[in-house]
């Protein structure tokens, strides 16, 4: 088991066209949070893991699609350089190496489902079709957390349930918004992206 265990964070990003919802990602970060801003080495920098829609055009038919795909990004310029990143929530220590954790994340299933289909349970009774499965960046992060838990990557205490993680994450964004964190009237520190320890309830970066 690594001595300086990596940390697992949930990251919430602003969606300007959808201000009441957020884009979700997972960060794998070093134990020393100061190194998130100073490390330029891919082996020690924070890495971002998420799924995103990508525009693809069929060369034969010209038809455009936006399939989901997994993406890993190495944040060698620090988390502060991430556009639209609002907050981070520390949810666990990791008991595995970076390579082992990334192998698990890369294996989390991706479903090519119409993102506009909002219901998990509805189906067309006339056609007797099975229910469609909702898939988006949030469900992928949820499934990724479950995979890390079941495959032994989480050190120490068990992860909180996803509903509770999501609720507290959104509440933290709302708290920072109420504090005017992202406008000119903010009176706190100006450096860093807000970071809260979910287990301890302590704010590490304001």
Q: Which residue has the higher pLDDT, 206 or 51?
A: 51
User: Can you give the residue ranges of every domain in the chain?
Assistant: 7-205
Q: What is the largest CA-CA distance in the chain?
A: 59
In angstroms and rounded to an integer, the radius of gyration of the C-alpha atoms of the chain is 18
106 to each of 20, 69, 132, how far by Cα in Å?
Answer: 29, 10, 23
The average pLDDT across 38-58 equals: 81
- Kindly report the pTM of this predicted structure: 0.85
pLDDT one-digit tens code per residue, 109-119: 999 875 444 43
pLDDT one-digit tens code per residue, 127-179: 445 555 689 999 999 999 999 999 999 998 899 999 999 999 999 999 999 99
Confidence of residue 40 (pLDDT cuts 50, 70, 90): low
């Amino acid at each position: 088991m690594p001595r300086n265990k990596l940390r697992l964070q949930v990251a919430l990003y602003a969606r300007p066209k959808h201000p009441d919802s957020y884009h979700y990602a997972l960060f794998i970060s070093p134990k020393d949070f100061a190194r998130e801003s100073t490390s330029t080495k891919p082996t020690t920098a924070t890495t971002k893991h998420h799924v995103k829609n990508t525009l693809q055009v069929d060369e034969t038919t010209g038809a455009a699609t936006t399939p989901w795909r997994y993406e890993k990004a190495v944040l060698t310029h620090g988390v502060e350089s991430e556009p639209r990143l609002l907050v981070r929530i520390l949810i666990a220590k990791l008991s595995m190496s970076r390579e082992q954790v990334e192998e698990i994340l890369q294996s989390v299933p991706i479903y090519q489902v119409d993102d506009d289909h909002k219901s998990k349970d509805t189906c067309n009774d006339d056609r007797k079709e099975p229910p469609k499965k909702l898939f988006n960046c949030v469900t992928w992060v949820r499934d990724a957390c479950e995979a890390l838990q079941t495959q032994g990557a989480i050190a120490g205490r068990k992860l909180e349930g996803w509903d509770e993680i999501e609720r507290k994450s959104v509440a933290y964004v709302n708290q920072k918004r109420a504090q005017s964190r992202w406008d000119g009237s903010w009176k706190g520190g100006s450096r860093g992206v807000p970071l809260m320890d979910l287990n301890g309830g302590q704010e590490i970066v304001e």
